[in-house]
Amino acid sequence: MQPDEPQLVEDSQQGNLSAFNTIVERYQSQVYNVAARILGDRFLAEDVAQETFISAHRAIKGFRGGSLKAWLLRIASNQSYDTIRSKKRRPADSLEESMENPNFSVPSSEPGPEQMALQSELQEKIQQAISSLPTDQRAVLVFIDVQGLSYDETAEAVGTSIGTVKSRLSRARARVRDALMEHRELLPDQFRQV
């Protein structure tokens, strides 16, 4: 937690919208990326991110300290789960279709169109592998390997113990590895021999 965060939280709890928006500004990128990686859809992630901060503002008075980042990411992951469940009930827009959206991958800065294409395709495959994971494993993998959270922060964000985090993380990594091994041609040279 950053030094000024306790004050920002207190001011937000007093109803100071400016203080809360400072918090939003600080964490909105992480919230959006977590939602996008969990959902595999940038458009849905936009709605989830907005809902996350609205819910956070309503519940800020109930924040009792700890990692503000973990608290916000937990709201984001819960909102993402709700969206996944609602999409399953109404499969009009398939999540798989959104994952194949070329807008999901960011163009690489490296030269060469072929390289760019391969990289883009690899990122798509990685995202597909992440999206194929169970939601509990998916969140842990995104928090730790995508967002760089620690085991403690991840345990706080998902509301479980560190042992559970370790277990889910190891399984998620193994499944992504198995999925990527089916597309060795896309892997970098150093990983093709694994």
Contact positions vs another protein (CB under 8 A): 15, 17, 20-21, 24-25, 28-29, 31-33, 36-37, 42, 45-46, 49-50, 52-59, 62, 71-72, 74-75, 78-79, 81-82, 105-106, 122-123, 126-127, 130, 141, 144-146, 151, 157, 166-167, 169-171, 173-174, 176-177, 180-181, 187, 191, 194
Rounded to whole angstroms, the Cα distance separating 44 from 40 reads 8
With residue 168 as reference, give the H or E element that holds it: helix 162-180
Q: List, as one string, the DSSP characters of 82-109.
A: HHHHHHHHSTTS-HHHHHT-GGGSPPPS
DSSP 133: S
Tell me the C-alpha to C-alpha distance, in Å, between residue 3 and each of 68, 113, 135.
12, 45, 33
Would you list the DSSP string of 43-65? HHHHHHHHHHHHHHHHHGGG--S
Least gap, CB of 98 to another protein (angstroms):
13
Q: Which is nearer to another protein, 26 or 97 (CB)?
A: 26
Token code pair at residue 122: 């690899």
Q: How far is the CB of 33 from another protein (least distance, A)?
A: 5
Of 58 and 88, which has the nearer Cβ to another protein?
A: 58
CA distance 192 to 78: 36
Contact assessment for residue 141 and residue 99, using Cβ atoms and an 8 Å cutoff? no
Least separation in angstroms between CB 3 and another protein: 22
Q: Please, which residue, 91 or 103, has the CB nearer to another protein? A: 103
Minimum distance from CB of 103 to another protein (Å)?
Answer: 10
Q: From the CB of 168, what's the least distance to another protein, in Å?
A: 10
Looking at beta carbons only, is 8 or 157 nearer to another protein? 157
Question: What's the closest the beta carbon of residue 24 comes to another protein, in angstroms?
Answer: 5
